[in-house]
């Protein structure tokens, strides 16, 4: 069977259910995740570190196991049965992910190791080919380091200028002066769909329209949105979008860059080597077509196939249902956590954020909070969350963060709050 761009794929692996269920059966979902049955120090595991990395359902684990047991072979390079099967599964996963994000063509989906590599691909390929001294890149103060450092490197190398949309005290972006920040010299506007620190859900379509009005391309960091809510790249109208598999029930070592086909076609390769070429001579080469032009060497085959299985699981659960469940759980968590003496929640109200809550607790270091909670089998994140500038904006070095996903419950929130009360006792706040 052929997809929209004419590529062959296995239709049995790309049929989408697009479940629109109105509520999640969390008990049934939890049964699909073997690790949630684990005990830590004799207590049931409470896993609240999903913004860093999600857990994996049995369907994904089985897919990885089945690939390695039955199909393991390199892709695109063999005519034997195993290679052809591996290639079909690998490309079927690409087609499924393409459909999942609303892309018009699977060839617009480039496999990368993670979202960080995807942003670096844009910076090193598109950036080096198009940005000159005096050009501007607009970012925001809430960006993950992955959407800051590559542009800083390019700025030092090329003399481009960086500017930033500021963050208000409540954790939302100050967009009143966006027209001033988006100058005729702004070539790219890069921003996150949702802050991984304060949880703010940004107005992506409004910001994208402003960027395009100024003549800039728009790059969206969707690491915290694609796993948790419906995302359609055509509706959002962005030019590039990146996300990581390990945050959306998939394996580590796999992520994706989506880009408009005409932009990707005009970009030079990011890396050179096998599979990204059409033909090679001693002194010159011709590049392969999309998407393989950007996928040099043996790719993360099993991981891509595993991500396809993760997307199938999310489709069955229903992204709209997942988003609503997380909004409800976050509102409940913020209400309960406000009962803890000395605890300050960072960021906006529950109706303006996704499924995470970062906080500080008196003068207790976040690492001490996380260590104390770990003693109660409660896993949260502590540190600067790869967003040091945003922490500097709040005048703090670090924060603690609880983040939720489709398998978390109000009972787990209650256990977290009970644990935080215990932290208050331990540190005599």
* Closest CA relative to residue 139, chosen from 188, 93, 185, 196: 188
List 163's β-bridge partners, or say none.
138
Q: Is 386 a residue of the active site? A: yes
Among residues 5, 104, 223, 386, the one annotated as catalytic is: 386
- Smallest CA-to-CA distance from 193 within 159, 160, 228 is with 228
Q: Are 174 and 191 in contact (CB under 8 A)?
A: no
Instruction: Compute the distance between CA of residue 374 and CA of residue 396 in angstroms, rounded to an integer.
Output: 23
CB within 8 A of 353, min separation 6: which ones? 171, 194, 195, 198, 199, 200, 201, 330, 347
Q: Identify the H or E element spanning 401.
A: strand 399-403
User: Strand, coil or helix: what is 175?
Assistant: coil
d(CA 105, CA 87): 18
- Which has the closest alpha carbon to 198: 347, 345, 326? 347
Tokens 């607790």 belong to residue: 361
Query: Which residue has tokens 């003399």?
Result: 159
Using CA atoms, how far apart are residues 292 and 278, in angstroms rounded to an integer?
A: 10
Residue 373: burial class (beta carbons within 10 Å; 0-12, 13-18, 19+): buried
The rounded Cα 383 to chain-centroid distance in angstroms is 19
Backbone angles phi, psi at 361, to 5 degrees: -130, 100
The upper half-sphere exposure of residue 414, i.e. CA atoms within 13 Å in the direction of its Cβ, equals 3
Residues 307 and 67: their CA atoms lie apart, in Å, by: 12
* Whole-angstrom distance, CA of residue 85 vs CA of residue 320: 33
First to last CA, the chain: 64
- Among candidate residues 212, 261, 255, the one with its CA nearest the CA of residue 236: 212
Q: What are phi and psi of 245, to 5 degrees?
A: -70, -35
Catalytic residues: 386
């Amino acid at each position: 069977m052929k997809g929209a761009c004419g590529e062959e794929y296995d239709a049995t692996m790309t049929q989408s259910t697009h479940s629109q269920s109105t509520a999640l059966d969390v008990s049934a979902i939890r049964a699909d995740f073997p690790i949630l049955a684990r005990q830590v120090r004799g207590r049931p595991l409470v896993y609240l570190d999903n913004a860093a990395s999600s857990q994996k359902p049995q369907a994904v684990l089985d897919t990885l196991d089945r690939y390695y047991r039955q199909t393991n072979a390199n892709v695109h390079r063999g005519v034997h049965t195993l290679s052809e099967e591996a290639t079909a599964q690998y490309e079927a996963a690409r087609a499924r992910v393409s459909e999942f994000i609303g892309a018009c063509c699977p060839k617009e989906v480039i496999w990368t190791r993670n979202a960080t590599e995807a942003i670096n691909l844009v910076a090193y390929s598109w950036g080096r080919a198009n940005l000159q001294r005096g050009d501007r890149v607009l970012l925001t103060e809430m960006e993950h380091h992955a959407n800051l450092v590559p542009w800083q490197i390019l700025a030092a190398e090329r003399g481009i200028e960086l500017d930033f949309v500021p963050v208000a005290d409540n954790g939302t972006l100050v967009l009143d002066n966006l027209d001033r920040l988006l100058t005729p010299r702004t070539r790219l506007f890069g921003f996150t769909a949702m802050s991984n620190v304060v949880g703010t859900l940004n107005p992506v379509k409004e910001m994208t329209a402003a960027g395009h009005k100024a003549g800039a391309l728009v790059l969206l960091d969707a690491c915290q949105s694609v796993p948790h809510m419906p995302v359609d790249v055509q509706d959002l109208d962005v030019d590039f979008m990146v996300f990581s598999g390990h945050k959306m029930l998939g394996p580590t070592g796999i992520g994706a860059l989506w880009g408009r086909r005409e932009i990707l076609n005009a970009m030079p390769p990011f890396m050179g080597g096998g599979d990204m070429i059409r033909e090679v001579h001693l002194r010159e080469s011709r590049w392969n077509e999309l998407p393989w032009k950007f996928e040099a060497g043996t790719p993360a085959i099993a991981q891509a196939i595993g991500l396809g299985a993760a997307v199938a699981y999310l489709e069955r659960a229903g992204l709209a249902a997942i988003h609503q469940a997380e909004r409800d759980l976050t509102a409940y968590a913020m209400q309960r956590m406000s009962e803890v003496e000395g605890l300050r929640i960072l960021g906006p109200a529950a109706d303006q954020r996704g499924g995470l809550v970062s906080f500080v607790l008196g003068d207790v270091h976040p690492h001490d909070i996380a260590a104390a909670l770990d003693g109660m089998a409660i896993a949260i994140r502590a540190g600067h969350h790869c967003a040091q500038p945003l922490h500097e904006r709040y005048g703090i070095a670090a924060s603690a963060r609880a983040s939720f996903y489709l398998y978390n419950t109000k009972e787990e929130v209650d256990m977290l709050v009970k644990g935080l009360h215990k932290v208050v006792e331990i540190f005599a706040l």
